[in-house]
Amino acid sequence: MVVETKLAPFHNEPFTDFSQAANREAMQKALAKVKSELGRSQSLVIGKEKFDTPTNPDNWLVSTNPAKPNEVIARFVKASTQEAEKAMQVALRAFESWKKVKAEKRAQILLDAAAIMRKRKHELSAWMILEVGKSWAEADGDTAEAIDFCEFYAREMIRLNDGHKLHPLPGEENKLSYIPLGVGLVIPPWNFPLAICAGMTTAALVAGNSVILKPSSESPAIAHQFISILEEVGLPQGVVTFLPGSGAEVGDYLVTHAKTRFIAFTGSKEVGLRINELAAKPQAKQIWIKRVIAEMGGKDSIVVDKDVDIEKAADGIVASAFGFQGQKCSACSRAIIHKDVYDQILEKVVAKTKSLKIGTPEAPENNFGPVASKSAYESILKYIEVGKGEGKVAIGGAEHKNDDKGFYIQPTVIADIKPDARISQEEIFGPVLAFIKADSFDQAIEIANNTEFGLTGAVYSGSRQHLEKAREEFHAGNLYLNRKCTGALVGVHPFGGFNMSGTDSKAGGQDYLLLFSQAKVVSEKV
C-alpha cells in the first residue's frame, strides 16, 4: 500500500446528472447487476470463524424490498449474544495492533475505500434503491456522502496527527496528541444506510479504534457491501466486525459490556435515550465512563415570513418534507407560515406536491417511493388519522394503492394545525407535513422552538432583521436561511442537533474525530 504524503484539498463528491443518457444507462446496468444477486444467504464471519447458520436455525435476518415486500434482498445469519462476545474478543485483540498503525496508513484505508466506492457508485446506489426504496437521486446523494466521509475523515486524521500546539515553557518539551479510545459499537440507521454507516465506522477506525458494526435490520445488505469494500482495501481482520442481530439482544449486550469503550448511534430518540441510560451504568471491572455519540430524532420546521418569494419557499418546503418520503431526521415536518401568506404558500405547496411522481424507485421518472418497512407504514398511517382530527387534509391522507403491495403512502399535507398538536410535536418520520399559521414572525420563531427537538430548521425571509433574529433565536443545530432544511454536505454543513435530537456530534465537521479520540499530554524536563 502506498501512503500519500500530500493530499489535494477536500472537495465534495459531485452528484450524478441523470438527465444524461449515459448516466441513466449506467444506473440501469447497475440495477440489473444487483437484481441478479438478490436472495443470497450471507454467512457471519467473526475473526477466523465462519457461521453459515444462526445459533437458532430459524433466526435469520431477512431483508426485503419495500416496493415489493415479497422480494428478498438478502438473508443474513443473525448473531446471538454468544457471537457478540466472540466479536468483542476479536475486536479487543485487533485494537492492540491497530492502535499502533500510523495515522497516514489508517487514512489511506479510507482513501482506497473511497476510490472503490467512486468506481461502484451506481451499484451501491442500486442496493439502496432496492433495499430501502430510495429514488435514483436520493440514493446517489447517499453514496456521494459516504465517499465524502471517507475522504474528509482521512484528511482530518492526518491533520489531528500533527497534535495540538501548546504554549511554550522554557526547560520543558510538551506535546498533546490524540490517541484512540478502544472498542466501539456502531449502530447506524436504515434511512442513510451507506452514508451514516460509513461515516460513523470510518471515523472510529481512522482514529485508531476497532469497531463492532451492528447494521440496521432494515438495511443489512448495503452495510455488508460497505464492509466488503473495507476488506477489499486491506483493513486488517477484526478491526471492523459486521454483526447483524437484534437490538434488544445483541445491541443491549454490547452496550452494557464492560469492554465497550464507546457507542456511536443514529436513530430514534427512544432508542438513543435507552442506549445512553444503559451505557451510563458501570459494569463489574469497567474502568472508564463510556462515551455515547448519538444523533436522534427531529421535528424540524421551515418558517416562512410574509415578504418572501412564494415559489422558492414552496419549493424548499416540498423538497424538505417529501425527499425520501420524509424519512430523514432533517426533514421538514412543520411549515410555520406568516398569516399574510399562509393561503398562498399552502396552495403552492399542494400544487407542487401533486406533481410528485409516486411509484417504484427503480424507474428514473419516479421521485416518491415506498416507506422503508411495514412497521413504518402502519405507524405513519396511524399518525395521519391523528392528524385528520387535528386539522384539515389539504392533500393525501391515505395509502397509495399498488399492484406489488408495496408500502406506499400518499404525500400528505394537513393544514390549520395548532402548535401543540400531536402531529406538530411527535416525530412521525414519514411523508406527513403539518401546516401552522403564525400571527407574526416572532410568534413563528416561538413555535419553531416549542418541541423537545433541535436538529434542523430553515427560515425564508426578505428581512435582514428577521434573518438575524432567527440566527440568534432559532434553536437548532443546523439552521438554514432562505434554503431548504435538508441536504447537509460533509465539510460544508457539519451535522448534529440540540436537546432531544442528540449530542450535537457534528458529523462531517472538524470536531467529529475528537469524539473517537482522547487527548494525552506528555511533558519532559530538558
Beta pairing, strands 49-51 & 44-46: antiparallel
At position 293, the amino acid (one-letter code) is I
DSSP string computed for 86-145: HHHHHHHHHHHHHTTS-HHHHHHHHHHHHHHHHHTHHHHHHHHHHHH---HHHHHHHHHH
Identify the residue whose cell numbers are 410574509.
306
CB-facing half-sphere around the CA of 233: CA atoms within 13 A: 23
At position 245, the amino acid (one-letter code) is G
245-261 per-residue burial string, b: 16 or more CB within 10 A, e: under 16: bbbeebbbbbbbbebbb
CA distance 445 to 92: 48
Q: What angle do CA 99, 102, 106 make, to 5 degrees?
A: 80
* Number of neighbours of residue 468 by Cβ within 10 angstroms: 12
Identify the residue whose cell numbers are 400571527.
439
Q: Using an 8 Å Cβ cutoff, are 424 and 435 in contact?
A: no
CA distance 288 to 282: 8
H-state helical runs in 242-370: 252-255, 269-280, 310-322, 342-354
Please identify which of the residues 150, 197, 329, 485 carries the catalytic annotation.
329
How buried is 15 (Cβ within 10 angstroms: 0-12 exposed, 13-18 middle, 19+ buried)? exposed
Instruction: Residue 500: name the closest of 326, 331, 298 by CA.
Output: 298
Instruction: Residue 190: name the closest of 213, 223, 212, 150 by CA.
Output: 223
Please identify which of the residues 295, 332, 362, 485 carries the catalytic annotation.
295
DSSP string computed for 460-525: E-S-HHHHHHHHHH---SEEEESS-S----TTTS-B--EETTBS---BTSTTGGGGGEEEEEEEEE
329 is catalytic: yes
What is the chain's alpha carbon radius of gyration, rounded to the nearest angstrom? 23
197 is catalytic: no
HEC secondary structure over 412-446:
EEEECCCCCCHHHHCCCCCCEEEEEEECCHHHHHH
Q: What dihedral do alpha carbons 476, 477, 482, 487 form, nearest 10°?
A: -130
Rounded to the nearest angstrom, the gap between the alpha carbon of residue 220 and the centroid of all alpha carbons in its chain is 14
* Number of neighbours of residue 418 by Cβ within 10 angstroms: 15
Tell me the catalytic residues.
295, 329
